[in-house]
Structure 1
Amino acid sequence: MPDELDLLRHANPVPADGPDFGDGPLGHRAERQLERLLHGARPTRRAPRARMLWGLAATGVVLATALTALLGGPNTQPAIAAPRPLTVRAQSTPVPLAELADMAAAAAADGSPRLRKGTHMQSWSLGMADGRPPVTLPEERVVRWRADDSHTELVVATDPRRPGRPVLTDEGDDPHLVADGHVLSRITYPPSWSDAPPPHTPAALRAYLAETVHTGSLDTPELFEAVEELLGHWTLGVRESAALVRVLADAEGLRPAGRVTDRLGRPGQAYVYAGGGGRRMLILAPRTGAVLGLETTFTRDAPEYGVKAGDVMDYRVWMR
């Protein structure tokens, strides 16, 4: 049994984004922040909201000195090249989200596969430095739950496009190369009231997602953020995926683009949202509506960072 000190370390009555002092148990976000403060764990990198994309470009200046030393002069090839953006298949017919929601609901009739605790995700995010080529920082994240409802999040530095080769990481805010598979963090979180499973009806799921990001009005950027948070803990079943597509169908500014092949070679339907200097492409499975991936690209040039409109800022893929 954990002693009293351990219990105190896993409690925090003051949520980081709460308006005042709370007196209830914590959600995932506050638990993670407390865990990092207490134990010095590496922060989990998350995709920024569309409205905050250009803030990342400014943040890239902080990496300039370290990346210059690592990558060499202006003509030096980056250690890891930036990925190419996904391309919508020419002459493919876009499928409206409402239509995909109907197909997903039909596919969910037998309820299989079911919702599963845990998730497996690969991500790549862009690191920028003033006057230097941009590089990507690849990671793989696995979340596994235990019988006592605690769960462990394992994050490793790996690039599946280049198995066995050194990987660039910003671990400890000091960009450097590490061996493929290097463990960046391994954190175990205790059971929490916020670990309740997501509902499988659209109205209830929308309320669940709004609570996840602590907002009453779930706009499209906040919806993306909530979906990423959800998929960071759960692998959705067909019923939850169908409900999520129905919620997405009501999102303002999210439009169908056509068929794509995702970064794991899976066919999908692409849906795009542009705003705040960036463009997000959500890739959904063509029959069930399951979320396969999310890509964010720049819509403006930033020559000081070697970034052009259309370059990939980050992308992530979820495995089933």
Structure 2
Amino acid sequence: MADELELLRRANPVPSDDHRFQDRPLDQHAERRLNQLLHRGRSRHLRRWTWTLGTAAAVGVIVLTLMLSGSTTTPAVAAPRPLLIEAGSTPVPLDRLADRAAASDNVPRLRQGTHVQTWSLSLTSGPGARPPITLPEERVVRWEADGSHTELVVATDPRRPGRPVITDADPVPRTVEDGHVLSRLTYPPSWSDAPPQAQPPHDAKRLRAYLEEIDPVETLNTSRLLDAAAQLLDNWTLGPRENAALARILADAQGLRPAGAVTDRLGRQGQAYVYDDKAHFQRRMLILDPATGAVLGLEDTVTKDDPEYGLKAGDVMSYRAWMR
């Protein structure tokens, strides 16, 4: 029991000073983290995840190098390389995308729930540390009219159908079949008036206040704005008005610059916007649909070598691809 309590203390899935968890049921992210901790074996390695805001999620195309000399061999996977901006492409300002989003008539209305594919690196340090391992997952969350919802998480790499997929759902990383179900959870009816479960507004001023409430501990700088936007998209599939409001907020974000056209990890055409987070040695690339202004993906890339964790500048730490 002492070991389990220590795991919970270190993970701190429900901070005591976070107003979102006071006098309310836990949201699905806190419940999922608790469930993962209860069913995941213990590890003496230090594992550092780059899920933004301490949550789970990120998928894209990765270069798998499976070293499977036997059934008990731990697989090793090279970190994916960052997406490349198309040479000669013309960057599109975010305020122009906001206008396109507002005028878009082929985007369904706002709905609660999400469909996201994620890639992220699992890292260890110290004696016997393994190389970074890229973990691809797909998560589908659907809400019902009575306030209940389901969450399905599978191990899959859509660019390599039928190939083995590495998962860290067990004490030791291993390969599973493509489409292997990691978890299938059903949650009873619940409601919350706190972001990100509360319905997001569709005007820029109120939506910014909503995003600030997701993480009220510190000032909503550009990096935290991207984190909060990811949290929003992990809970809601936005409609045209919400897409436009979010694009207008991002257009005012300091240091987020248009970079040009890019093909995302699911083969979709997008416009890239880049922010250099010098404090954390990361390059963050946000990808938006050039026709509708919807956010397609978010990529975090290391900009400085970190020998302790086996990272090299240019390694992609995490990637999320949101779908409808």
User: What is the CA–CA distance in structure 1 between the aligned matches of 2:153 and 2:21, rounded to whole Å?
Assistant: 30
Across the aligned residues of Structure 1 and Structure 2, the Cα RMSD in angstroms comes to 3.0
Instruction: Answer whether contact 2:50 2:121 (CA < 8 A) is retained.
Output: no
Residues 240 and 132 of structure 1: is their aligned pair in 2 closer, same or farther, counting only changes over 3 Å? same
Match of 2:51 in 1: 47
On the 8 A contact 2:140/2:153 being kept in 1, the answer is yes
Q: Give the number of aligned pairs.
A: 279
Amino acid at match of 2:116: M
Which residue of structure 1 lines up, in the alignment, with residue 114 of structure 2? 119
Match of 1:286 among 281, 287, 290: 290
Equivalent-residue separation in structure 1 for 2:33 and 2:50 (angstroms)? 17
Which residue does the alignment assign to 2:141? Answer: 143
* 2: CA distance, partners of 1:47 / 1:36: 17
SS of aligned partner of 1:99? helix
Instruction: Decide which of 80, 91, 94 is 1:94's aligned counterpart.
Output: 91
* Identical columns (%): 58
Cα distance in structure 1, aligned partners of 2:250 and 2:238: 15
1:182 pairs with 2:186: no
Aligned equivalents of 1:46, 1:88: Cα separation in 2:
23
**Could you tell me which residue of structure 2 aligns to residue 196 of structure 1?**
198
CA deviation digits over 1:124-159, x for unaligned, max 9?
A: 111345575433111010001122111111111112
Where does structure 1 lack aligned partners over 5 or more consecutive residues?
1-13, 51-67, 72-77
Change (3 A) 1:155 1:128: same
For 2:81, the equivalent position in structure 1 comes to 84
Structure with more helix by fraction? 1
Q: Tell me which residue corresponds to 2:262.
A: 260
Q: 1:125 to 1:100 in 2, by over 3 A?
A: same
SS at match of 2:266: coil
- SS in structure 1 of the partner of residue 74 of structure 2: helix
Q: Which amino acid aligns with 1:318?
A: W
User: Contact 1:94–1:258 (CA<8 Å) still a contact in 2?
Assistant: yes
Q: Is this contact kept in 2: 1:49–1:221, CA < 8 A?
A: no
Do residues 157 (structure 1) and 155 (structure 2) align? yes
- The answer to whether the aligner puts 1:274 opposite 2:276 as a matched pair is yes
Q: Which residue of 2 aligns with 1:166?
A: 164
Distance 1:247 1:111, change over 3 A: farther
Q: What is the CA–CA distance in structure 2 between the aligned matches of 1:21 and 1:118, rounded to whole Å?
A: 19
Question: 1:118 is paired with a residue of what secondary structure?
Answer: strand
In structure 2, distance between residues paired with 1:149 and 1:228: 22
2:31 aligns with 32
- Give the superposition deviation at 1:287: 2.3
Q: Measure, in 1, the Cα distance between the counterparts of 2:19 and 2:130.
A: 43
| Alpha-carbon distance in structure 2 between the residues aligned to 1:30 and 1:171 | 16
- Which residue does 2:301 correspond to in 1? 297
Instruction: Write the distance in 1 (CA, Å) between the matches of 2:240 and 2:175.
Output: 40
Name the CA shift for 1:154/1:33 in 2 (closer, same or farther; >3 Å).
Answer: closer
Distance 1:18 1:290, change over 3 A: same
2:179 corresponds to which letter in structure 1? G
> Residues of 2 paired with 1:88 and 1:114: CA distance?
30
Q: Distance in 1 between matches of 2:235 and 2:154?
A: 17
Cα deviation, residue 244, structure 1:
0.5
Tell me the residue number matched to 1:231: 233
Distance 1:94 1:30, change over 3 A: closer
Of stretches 80-89 and 229-238 in structure 1, the one that deviates more from structure 2 is: 80-89
TM-score by length of 2: 0.76
Q: Is the 8 A contact 2:78 2:134 kept in 1?
A: yes
Higher mean alpha-carbon deviation, 135-144 vs 187-196, is at 187-196
C-alpha distance 23-233 of structure 1, shift in aligned 2 (>3 A): closer
Partner of residue 213, structure 1: 215
